[in-house]
Amino acid sequence: LLISLPRMRYILPLLLFFHPTSSQSCTDHDINCRDWVSTNAASCQSTEYIRVSCRRSCGTCSGGVHADKRFDLSRLPPALSPLSF
């Protein structure tokens, strides 16, 4: 199937506009995600809804988008967990 060049100038922008990128798919779908994950980092593994809806906050996006290491509570030693915010 060949598309002539004049037609392609209309089709190509549409394909680029509707093609999802990894940055678009790496989002939190609930406004409470940051609070939930910062309160209990283990909720990313234990709660199905949070695991699916809070991919950015949980750092589970494909493509390498993860939480800033300074604020990633999943890296916190268990002994310090009670002291976390």
Mean pLDDT of 50-61: 89
Domain count, the chain: 1
Q: Is the residue at 35 inside a domain?
A: yes
* Residue span of the structural domain in which 50 resides: 25-75
Q: How confident is the model at residue 60 (pLDDT cuts 50, 70, 90)?
A: confident
Q: Beta-carbon neighbour count of residue 66 at 10 Å?
A: 14
Q: Is the residue at 68 inside a domain?
A: yes
Q: Is the residue at 82 inside a domain?
A: no
- 59 contacts 27 by C-beta, under 8 angstroms: no
User: Residue 17: what residue type?
Assistant: F
Residue 20 reports pLDDT greater than 50: no
For the stretch 35-45, pLDDT in tens is: 999 888 889 99
Cross-strand pairs, 40: none
Give the residue with greater pLDDT, 67 vs 38.
38
For the stretch 43-55, pLDDT in tens is: 999 999 999 999 9
How many Å apart are CA 19 and CA 55, to the nearest integer?
Answer: 20
Give the residue with greater pLDDT, 40 vs 82.
40
User: Residue 42: what residue type?
Assistant: A
